[in-house]
């Protein structure tokens, strides 16, 4: 099927840099080839369903796909990551160079941080009220992250505050370590009955962190402050502002 990637195919819509990098990917067979099984029109784009049960949006580049066509996908960091390019029957629809991918990534980061800042501004009064209602040991925990990362409030505080308020809710409802340890294994209906107000918006990470903090709150409150931040498994200690005694961790 590599013959659909011949350099002799029409590449008039690509820049010279795009042509060169696409050719390197084609030679290295870094694209994945899919036979179109079904095509649907959705708003201003084509939705492709392939013979290997894949489905994806191919946009509209002035070429209508049909069943039996071959679509080649190029990825940013290996198969199943973000698309960087696409061919239809060997003709490139688009291809992004490494420089273009990085420019888009940086723009996405800037946009995401601006959205985070705005969400913080919009929710600051609510976060402050939640902080004021926390037990002192949880306030100390939040203070640790605020001190460790000057940007913690707008970057991560909403995530940590949600986890902490849910931890207090669980601890106050279940009261003892044995009940808290058993809590995650209960069916949802029984969890909700045992802890009224338990949020259905948890990820696995926030739920696990909340249960752990609840357990520490009823057994050894000193470790509520010392325990790593709720999002540390995803972003790391330094990024989160999770200051702790590194020597003691060894």
Which of the pair, 142 or 29, is modelled with greater confidence? 142
Compute the Cα dihedral for 112, 113, 115, 116 and give only its sign. Answer: positive
Q: Is the pLDDT of residue 247 over 50?
A: no
Dump pLDDT digits (tens) for 30-62. Answer: 568 899 999 999 989 999 999 988 899 988 888
pTM: 0.68
Domain ranges of the chain: 2-96, 110-249
Q: Nearest-CA neighbor of 140 among 217, 245, 236? A: 217
Q: Do residues 92 and 85 lie in contact, with contact meaning Cβ atoms separated by under 8 Å?
A: yes
Per-residue buried b or exposed e for 170-201, using 16+ beta carbons within 10 Å of the residue's own CB: bbebbeebebbeebeeeeeeebeeebeebeee
Contact 156, 149 (CB under 8 A): yes
For 119-172, the pLDDT digits (tens) are 999 999 999 999 999 999 999 999 999 999 999 999 999 999 999 999 999 999
pLDDT tens for 190-217 read 999 999 999 999 999 999 999 999 999 9
């Amino acid at each position: 099927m590599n013959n659909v990637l011949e350099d002799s195919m029409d590449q008039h819509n690509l820049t010279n840099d795009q042509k060169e990098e696409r050719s390197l990917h084609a030679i290295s067979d870094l694209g994945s080839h899919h036979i179109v099984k079904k095509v649907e029109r959705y708003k201003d784009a084509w939705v492709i369903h392939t013979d290997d049960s894949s489905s994806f949006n191919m946009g509209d580049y002035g070429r209508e796909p049909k069943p039996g066509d071959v679509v080649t996908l190029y990825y940013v960091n290996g198969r199943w990551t973000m698309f960087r390019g696409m061919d239809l029957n060997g003709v490139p629809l688009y291809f992004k160079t490494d420089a273009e991918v990085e420019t888009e990534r940086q723009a996405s980061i800037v946009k995401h941080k601006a959205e985070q800042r705005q969400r913080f501004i919009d929710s600051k009064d609510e976060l402050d009220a939640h902080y004021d209602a926390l037990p002192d040991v949880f306030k100390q925990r939040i203070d640790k992250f605020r001190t460790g990362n000057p940007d913690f409030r707008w970057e991560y505080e909403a995530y940590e505050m949600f986890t902490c308020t849910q931890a207090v809710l669980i601890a106050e409802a279940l009261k003892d370590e044995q009940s808290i340890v058993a809590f995650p294994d209960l069916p949802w209906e029984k969890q909700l009955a045992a802890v009224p107000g338990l949020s259905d918006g948890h990820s696995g990470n926030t739920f696990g962190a909340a249960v752990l903090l609840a357990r520490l709150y009823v057994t050894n409150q000193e470790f509520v402050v010392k325990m790593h931040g709720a999002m540390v498994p995803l972003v790391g200690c330094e990024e989160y502002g999770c200051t702790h005694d590194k020597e003691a961790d060894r």
